[in-house]
Amino acid sequence: MLHSILLYRAMFGMTTMPTVDVSDPGGLVKSQAMQTPDKQVSFTMNSSQASRTVSSKILDQYAGTGVNHIALTTRDMFETAAFIEKQGANTMPVTANYYDDLAARFNLSDETLRQLKRFNILYDEDGFGSFYQLYTSMFAGRFCFEIVQRNGYQGFGAANSQMRLTMQARELN
């Protein structure tokens, strides 16, 4: 990962965010977010010494090509989620206790919590705004699409990383 960080810094002037350790059902994952100066391109690199993590399984299975999700943005997460559902596409199921935790952590209306749960949408907030995430089911057992909506939010959804890895681990088994 260090070689890749140096490459992206040198070639594209990307900056790094603080490294985050994320719990995966198979072990600990080190996550490093990078971003271009204009914030138009962002991505996160994950690595792990544990062979049973989602990241390690994908890297091993596909000889080092480890894209495990591609993020796209939307302006209206609930409208996009309804469209995805109408098309018959599957999303990764979120555990029910996740929404109980959201209710305890944030001042969300019952209707918002119901919609989040209905569409399997993850949620987070920071001092700048709110963040919605939705993950499609895995394609070819390899990667999924992440749909995000940022309302001023500056982070990368680190609070939801463990849930994403848990959902992906379920689909890889």
Give buried/exposed letters for 74-91 (b at 16+ CB in 10 A, else e): beebbebbeebeeeeeeb
Per the structure, the complete domain to which residue 72 belongs is given by: 2-172
* Domain CATH code at residue 148: 3.10.180.10
CB burial string 122-132: b at 16+ within 10 A, e below: bbbbeeeebbb
- Per the model's pLDDT, the better-predicted residue between 61 and 15 turns out to be 15
pLDDT digit string, tens, across residues 38-74: 888 888 777 777 777 766 666 666 555 566 678 899 9
How many structural domains comprise the chain?
A: 1
List, as one string, the DSSP characters of 3-40.
HHHHHHHHHH--EEPPPEEEEETTEEEEEEEEE-TTSS
Q: What is the pLDDT of residue 19?
A: 85
- Tokens 């271009």 — which residue? 36
C-alpha–C-alpha distance, residues 160 and 167, integer Å: 11
Spell out where the chain has E strands.
15-16, 20-24, 27-35, 42-47, 69-73, 121-126, 129-135, 144-151
The proportion of the chain whose per-residue pLDDT surpasses 90, expressed as a percent, equals 43
What pTM was estimated for this model as a whole? 0.76
